[in-house]
């Protein structure tokens, strides 16, 4: 009852005093409006959902925003709920142009107007769907988590798969590493860990569960990359652990004590080794858009004297430096050629991770940090780009980066947008940020994925993991995935 | 009269007897009138009912008020049960049975009321009964009004004098029974099944109120009880009052079985119950953060974890995430005092350092980096047992006491070398005395320990008959020797020692989400 009363009071207070027109008289102030999310001077896709935002000003009791003629009001909570139809018309009209946004606040002495900021509307749209995992940034335990899909043109979020809503010992499982083939949802996969373990592979509306395990391979597949045209998946296979700092700028280290690369044939349910080495740690494979090369990260295995490899690697956590390599792939023979060093970070005393090739094949996007490969827990991690079509040196995407961790990233299918995970909001909870990537190979200032309630990200106690853009919605139903995960046995892949 | 007695007794039960327990249940809960924050609970089976239960539980911010609400729910609910069932007067006592069942259930559940279980059930269930009965009563009342002019009942009503006499004798007969049922039975059940729960939650409330001397006093009052969480909060009280090195072994440290259950319903010894507090209070902020985050993952947000995470973020200088936690705490009602105290510390490292509790915590923070996984768990014992450096003498004392507690005497002796030339605190002196007969160097380095050694030799003579029956010795010698380290060394914490010796603490897992 109290709950309902409180909700009613909250609604009433939110609705009351919400102005609907621009003030006739006001005073100009020099300070910029404090808004959350910070959408000032960002470039946005012409098909993005309304950028609802919240003005934070304790001295004001009402707000109005003028978004290029679209007027939106807010009560004392400062929450601007932009009309979707009007927003869509605005973006259509302003495609390729700028929208000037002016924010007015009603303070004790009357209305004030803050300096204007700009929203640049790009010509190129972003892929309509973004999928991600929502999970608390807990470290070892999990309870309720799932893979979700957001329609970027509106605020609809649908569930791809959820583990469990209430706890059950026998049912508890984790899902991770969802991946799609070439921005399409016809073929996708994700892993299931603990109860009902395996890898779920879909083909259109059908799905099945496989298990990749064999004496000849190190372990099950971990980080995947679908070949752009063939039913092939390159996986890294990792023996991973995590350790917790007692006193260090970073809180966690996720370390591989062994890792290799394997190739999985989804049509024949066969697996084979790509690279099986004891002197190097290979991880994060990624195909080029034409499927003729495979990029991956590799670090030299430190020379260890002693029996406990895990403890020794842990003690040298900050000396594990990964470079990016690539190997040619012959589709006819399904063989790989000699590795070629693409980004030499280790010689600079730095480390690279998560290589991603732009759809036009001209750019290699990756994260660059002080050490290691699990950069999402490293404040030093930034997005960098290496042009592949010329010999220009790699450079950081300065406008898109932040002082905190900017890591797991993916391209849109037209190569004009990148989406990535960032801890810039609070240093702890990752949020998906979107940045425009222009034809000169520079990224613009990134903006937070808009939500209907702009306060959403401040209240959400989960992280957005592995944001992946796709052109269409996932086709397989949640019921089918539930059936496959919970009621079918994994088919063990044969080793070839 | 019976209803009145029932109301008063249930108020006493829910605010006095169970007041601290339900206050801590409130802290382990979280309610806000916000869909984003409550969505995780709303989507669970009976989620909306649990949300209402949590909303009502917020009144336990003031246990007297929370208890009043519960008493009103129980008393009115009982009256409504009687009204709806149209119980004959002689069966009227039965209307109180649902309320009795609730009290007995709370007493039976103990820690399961809120630890690893949904706290919204506590008041959610009686609230549901109340609402159902109220709705039923409303229907009956409406129906009765419509039949107001219906013919009179066949059986004539008893005369007024008869009714009065019956009611009087009925009340006289029933009242003592009610007192037994409504109050004594659940009280005794709670004391029998969870004797540690009231002192434990009292100490937790005292910790929140920073009444550290009160925590020690509560520990001493319940020295005969021996449960791990109780010992942990007693130790925190000692740490904060500076008496760790002379009073740690004043209470029984044998650890009886805790009746609790984990998320899946398996028996659970509540080993992790106190870890966030213990890690934090001993200066291990990072492990405490990790634990709190794991609790957030498993239990959803609670005031307990959010407040800890906010305070720890302040110490770590993670201002923005601290702001986030404050923002979420602000959405919960009645938490103004907490925000008033801690929110001004945002971006003010000087204020954080000036806070006496934080300053004390930071005094024993690690001096050099290491990985939590390298130490035996729980970390506040494992870390200090092997700690070799520290920011203050307190770290050395924690280390010595961790080794004494774990009976790791070689490590204890190695660390005592720093104390040569000084007068060691009482318990440390007693620890040294136990090793003196085997190590001549001890008396050379600490000549002032001769009396301690003599006492120890005397104790050994007294203890000799019990050496083969240590559990019996532990019981029989407790009154005379509790607080004396050699007693603990031979007769304390035997079950843990016997089970797995010094390695009784697990190392943590290392899965990656």
List, in sequence order, every beta strand (DSSP E) within A250-359: 252-265, 270-275, 280-287, 293-300, 322-330, 335-336, 340-343, 351-357
User: Tokens 């190129």 belong to which residue?
Assistant: A124
Instruction: Please give the C-alpha separations between residue B314 and each of B277, B318, B319, B345, B352, in angstroms, as whole numbers.
Output: 16, 6, 6, 7, 7
The predicted pLDDT at position B89 comes to: 76
Does A248 sit within 8 Å of B33, measured CB to CB?
no
DSSP for residue A437: B
Q: Chain A residues with CB inside 8 Å of B324's CB?
A: 425-426, 428-429, 458
Which residue is closest to A255 within chain B, CA to CA? B512
Nearest to B371 among A168, A243, A428 (CB): A243
The predicted pLDDT at position B513 comes to: 64
Averaged pLDDT, groups of 10, chain A, 496 residues long: 46 58 95 96 98 96 96 96 97 97 95 97 98 90 92 97 85 93 96 94 95 93 97 96 92 94 96 93 97 97 74 88 98 95 97 97 97 95 95 95 96 98 96 97 98 97 96 96 96 94
Instruction: Give the whole-angstrom CA distance, residue B83 versus residue B72.
Output: 16
Least confident of A351-365, B56-70, B77-91, B414-428: B77-91
Pairwise pLDDT comparison (B511 vs A232), residue with the higher score: A232
In chain B, residues 38-67 whose CB comes closer than 8 Å to chain A: 40, 43-45, 51-52, 55-56, 58
Closest CA to B440 of B426, B427, B453: B453
Please indicate if any CB of chain A lies within 8 Å of the CB of B297. yes
Residue B275 in contact with residue B241, Cβ under 8 Å? no
Q: Is B351 a residue whose pLDDT tops 80?
A: yes
Does A427 sit within 8 Å of B318, measured CB to CB?
yes
Q: Chain A residues with CB inside 8 Å of B297's CB?
A: 136, 138, 141-143
pLDDT, tens digit (0-9, with 9 covering 90-100), for B304-342: 999 999 999 999 999 999 999 999 999 999 999 999 999
Task: Determine the residue among B263, B299, B371 to mutate to test chain A binding: the one whose Cβ has the most chain A Cβ atoms within 10 Å.
Answer: B371
Q: Chain A residues with CB inside 8 Å of B509's CB?
A: 140
Instruction: Please give the C-alpha separations between residue A82 and each of A65, A453, B513, in angstroms, as whole numbers.
Output: 10, 10, 36
Average pLDDT, chain B: 90
Pairwise pLDDT comparison (A278 vs B430), residue with the higher score: B430
Query: Taking residues B10-38, what's their average pLDDT?
Result: 96
The predicted pLDDT at position A254 comes to: 94
Does A246 sit within 8 Å of B383, measured CB to CB?
yes
Which residue is closest to A245 within chain B, CA to CA? B371
Which residues sit opposite A80 in a β-bridge? A53
The predicted pLDDT at position A306 comes to: 67
Does B31 sit within 8 Å of A3, measured CB to CB?
yes
In chain B, residues 274-293 whose CB comes closer than 8 Å to chain A: 284, 286-287, 289-290, 293
Q: Chain B residues with CB inside 8 Å of A455's CB?
A: 36
> From the centroid of its chain, how far is CA A374?
14
Rounded to the nearest angstrom, the minimum Cα separation between B312 and chain A is 13
Does A176 sit within 8 Å of B294, measured CB to CB?
no
Q: Chain A residues with CB inside 8 Å of B43's CB?
A: 165
The predicted pLDDT at position A17 comes to: 65
Question: Is the bond preceding A37 in cis, omega lying within 30 degrees of 0?
Answer: yes
Please indicate if any CB of chain A lies within 8 Å of the CB of B350. no
Q: What is the pTM of this model?
A: 0.93
Q: Chain A residues with CB inside 8 Å of B284's CB?
A: 246
Does B301 sit within 8 Å of A247, measured CB to CB?
no
Please indicate if any CB of chain A lies within 8 Å of the CB of B36. yes
Which residue is closest to B383 within chain A, CA to CA? A246
Which residue is closest to A177 within chain B, CA to CA? B513
Rounded to the nearest angstrom, the minimum Cα separation between A23 and chain B is 31
Q: Is B504 a residue whose pLDDT tops 50?
A: no
The predicted pLDDT at position B490 comes to: 95
Burial of A432 per CB tally in 10 Å (0-12, 13-18, 19+): buried
Please indicate if any CB of chain A lies within 8 Å of the CB of B417. no
Question: How many degrees, rounded to 5, is the angle at CA A200 between CA A210 and CA B508?
Answer: 90
Nearest to A166 among B44, B51, B368 (CB): B44
Does A143 sit within 8 Å of B297, measured CB to CB?
yes
Rounded to the nearest angstrom, the minimum Cα separation between B85 and chain A is 25
Does A136 sit within 8 Å of B36, measured CB to CB?
no
Q: From the CB of residue B173, how many other CB atoms can be counted at a distance below 10 Å?
A: 10
The predicted pLDDT at position A166 comes to: 78
Which residue is closest to B59 within chain A, CA to CA? A2
Does A246 sit within 8 Å of B372, measured CB to CB?
yes
Which residue is closest to B302 within chain A, CA to CA? A461
The predicted pLDDT at position B183 comes to: 81
In chain B, residues 358-377 whose CB comes closer than 8 Å to chain A: 365-373
Q: Is B408 a residue whose pLDDT tops 70?
A: yes
CATH code for the domain defined by A18-121: 2.60.40.10
Q: Is B3 a residue whose pLDDT tops 70?
A: yes
Q: Tell me the torsion sign for CA atoms B453, B455, B461, B462.
A: negative
| Percent with pLDDT over 90 in chain B | 76
Does B37 sit within 8 Å of A165, measured CB to CB?
no
Rounded to the nearest angstrom, the minimum Cα separation between A269 and chain B is 26
pLDDT, tens digit (0-9, with 9 covering 90-100), for A86-141: 999 999 999 999 999 999 999 988 999 999 999 999 999 999 999 999 999 977 88
Least confident of B240-244, B286-290, B428-432, B471-475: B471-475
Instruction: Give the whole-angstrom CA distance, residue B72 versus residue B268.
Output: 34
Q: Is B510 a residue whose pLDDT tops 50?
A: no
Which residue is closest to B298 within chain A, CA to CA? A143
Q: What is B145-168 written as a DSSP string?
A: HHTTTSPPPSSPPPPHHHHHHHHH
The predicted pLDDT at position B495 comes to: 72
Instruction: Give the whole-angstrom CA distance, residue A80 versus residue A308.
Output: 57
Least confident of A322-336, B61-75, B101-115, B249-263: B249-263
Domain ranges of chain A: 18-121, 129-491
Does A244 sit within 8 Å of B365, measured CB to CB?
no
Task: Determine the residue among A38, A139, A155 to mutate to test chain B binding: the one whose Cβ has the most chain B Cβ atoms within 10 Å.
Answer: A139
Confidence band for B511, pLDDT divided at 50, 70 and 90: low
Does B34 sit within 8 Å of A169, measured CB to CB?
no
Say whether domain A129-491 belongs to CATH 2.120.10.30: yes
Does A428 sit within 8 Å of B321, measured CB to CB?
yes
Q: Which two tokens stand for residue A274?
A: 């790509």
| Percent with pLDDT over 70 in chain B | 90
Rounded to the nearest angstrom, the minimum Cα separation between A1 and chain B is 7
A367 backbone dihedrals φ, ψ, rounded to 5°: -105, 145
Does B509 sit within 8 Å of A427, measured CB to CB?
no
Instruction: Give the whole-angstrom CA distance, residue B86 versus residue B76.
Output: 15
Q: Is B154 a residue whose pLDDT tops 60?
A: no
Which residue is closest to B369 within chain A, CA to CA? A247
Which residue is closest to B35 within chain A, CA to CA? A7
- End-to-end CA, chain A: 64
């Amino acid at each position: 009852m109290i709950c309902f009363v409180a909700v009613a009071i909250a609604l009433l207070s939110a609705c009351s005093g919400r102005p609907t027109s621009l003030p006739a008289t006001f005073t100009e102030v020099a300070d910029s409006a404090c808004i959350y999310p910070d959408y000032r001077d960002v470039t946005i896709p012409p098909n993005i959902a309304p950028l609802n935002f919240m003005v934070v000003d304790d001295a004001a009791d009402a707000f109005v925003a003028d978004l290029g003629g679209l007027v939106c009001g807010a009560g004392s909570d400062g929450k601007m709920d932009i009309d979707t139809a009007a927003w869509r018309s605005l973006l259509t009209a302003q495609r390729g142009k700028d929208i000037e946004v002016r924010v007015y606040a009603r303070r004790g002495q009357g209305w004030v107007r803050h300096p204007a900021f700009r929203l640049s509307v790009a010509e190129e749209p972003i892929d309509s769907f973004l999928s991600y995992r929502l999970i608390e940034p807990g470290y070892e335990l999990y309870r309720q988590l799932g893979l979700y899909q957001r329609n970027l043109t509106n605020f609809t979020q649908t569930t791809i798969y959820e583990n469990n809503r209430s706890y059950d010992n026998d049912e508890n499982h984790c899902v991770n590493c969802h991946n799609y083939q070439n921005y399409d949802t016809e073929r996708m996969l994700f892993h299931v860990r603990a109860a009902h373990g395996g890898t779920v592979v879909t083909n259109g509306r059908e799905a099945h569960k496989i298990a990749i395990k064999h004496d000849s391979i190190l372990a099950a597949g971990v980080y995947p990359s679908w070949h752009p045209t063939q039913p092939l998946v390159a996986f890294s296979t990792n023996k991973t652990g995590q350790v917790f700092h007692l006193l260090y700028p970073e809180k966690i280290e996720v370390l591989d004590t062994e890792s290799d690369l394997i190739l999985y044939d989804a049509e024949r349910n066969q697996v084979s080794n790509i690279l099986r080495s004891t002197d190097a740690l290979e991880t994060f494979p990624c195909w080029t858009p034409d499927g003729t090369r495979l990029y991956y990260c590799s670090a030299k295995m430190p020379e260890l004297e002693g029996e406990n490899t895990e403890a020794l690697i842990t003690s040298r956590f900050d000396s594990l430096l990964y470079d990016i390599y690539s190997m040619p792939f012959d589709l006819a023979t399904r063989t790989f050629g000699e590795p070629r060093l693409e980004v030499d970070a280790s010689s600079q005393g730095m480390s690279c991770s998560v290589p991603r090739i732009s759809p036009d094949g001209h750019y290699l996007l990756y994260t660059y940090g002080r050490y290691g490969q699990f950069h999402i827990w490293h404040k030093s991690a930034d997005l960098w780009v290496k042009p592949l079509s010329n010999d220009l040196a790699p450079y950081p995407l300065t406008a898109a980066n932040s002082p905190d961790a900017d890591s797991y990233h993916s391209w849109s299918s037209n190569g004009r947008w990148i989406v990535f995970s960032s801890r810039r909001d609070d240093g702890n909870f990752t949020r998906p940020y979107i940045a425009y990537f222009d034809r000169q190979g520079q990224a613009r200032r990134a903006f937070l994925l808009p939500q209907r309630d702009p306060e959403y990200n401040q209240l959400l106690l989960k992280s957005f993991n592995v944001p992946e853009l796709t052109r269409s919605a996932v086709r397989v139903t949640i019921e089918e995935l539930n059936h496959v995960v919970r009621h079918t046995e994994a088919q063990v892949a044969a080793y070839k | 009269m019976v209803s009145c007695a029932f109301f008063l007794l249930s108020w006493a039960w829910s605010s006095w007897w169970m007041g601290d327990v339900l206050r801590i249940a409130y802290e382990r809960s979280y309610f806000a009138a916000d869909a984003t924050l409550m969505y995780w609970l709303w989507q669970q089976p009976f989620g909306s009912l649990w949300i209402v239960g949590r909303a009502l539980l917020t009144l336990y911010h003031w246990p007297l008020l929370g208890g009043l609400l519960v008493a009103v729910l129980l008393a009115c609910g009982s009256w409504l049960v009687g009204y709806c069932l149209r119980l004959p007067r002689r069966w009227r006592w039965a209307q109180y049975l649902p309320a009795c069942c609730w009290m007995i259930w709370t007493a039976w559940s103990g820690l399961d009321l809120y630890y690893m279980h949904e706290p919204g059930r506590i008041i959610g269930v009686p609230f549901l009964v109340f609402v159902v009965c109220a709705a039923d009563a409303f229907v009956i009342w409406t129906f009765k009004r419509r039949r107001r002019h219906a013919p009179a009942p066949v059986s004539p009503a008893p005369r007024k004098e008869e009714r009065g006499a019956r009611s009087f004798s009925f009340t006289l007969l029933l009242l003592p029974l009610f007192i037994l049922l409504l109050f004594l039975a659940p009280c005794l059940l709670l004391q029998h099944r969870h004797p540690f729960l009231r002192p434990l939650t009292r100490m937790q409330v005292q910790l929140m109120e920073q009444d550290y001397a009160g925590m020690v006093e509560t520990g001493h009052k319940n020295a005969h009880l021996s449960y791990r969480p109780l010992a942990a909060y007693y130790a925190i009280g000692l740490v904060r009052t500076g008496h760790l090195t002379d009073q740690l072994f004043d209470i029984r440290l044998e650890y009886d079985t805790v009746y609790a259950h984990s998320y899946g319903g398996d028996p659970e010894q509540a080993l992790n119950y106190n870890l966030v507090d213990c890690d934090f209070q001993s200066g291990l902020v990072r492990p405490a953060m990790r634990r709190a985050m794991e609790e957030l993952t498993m239990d959803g947000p609670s005031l307990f974890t959010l407040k800890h995470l906010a305070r720890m973020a302040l110490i770590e200088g993670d201002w923005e995430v601290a702001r986030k936690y404050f923002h979420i705490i602000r959405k919960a009602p009645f938490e103004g005092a907490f925000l008033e105290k801690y929110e001004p510390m945002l971006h003010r490292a000087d204020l954080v350092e000036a806070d006496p509790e934080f300053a004390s915590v930071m005094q024993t923070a690690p001096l050099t980096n290491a990985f939590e996984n390298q130490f035996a768990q729980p970390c506040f014992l494992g870390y200090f047992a092997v700690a070799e450096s520290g920011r203050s003498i307190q770290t050395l004392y924690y280390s010595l006491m961790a080794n004494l507690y774990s009976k790791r005497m070689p490590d204890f002796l190695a660390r005592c070398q720093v104390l040569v030339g000084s007068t060691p605190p009482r318990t440390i002196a007693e620890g040294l005395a136990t090793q003196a007969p085997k190590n001549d160097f001890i008396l050379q380095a600490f000549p002032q320990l001769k009396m301690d050694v003599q006492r120890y030799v005397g104790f050994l003579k007294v203890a000799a008959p019990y050496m083969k029956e240590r559990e019996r010795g532990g019981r029989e010698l407790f009154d005379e020797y509790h607080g004396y380290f050699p007693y603990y060394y031979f007769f304390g914490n035997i079950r843990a020692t016997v089970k797995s010796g010094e390695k009784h603490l697990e190392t943590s897992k290392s899965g990656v989400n």
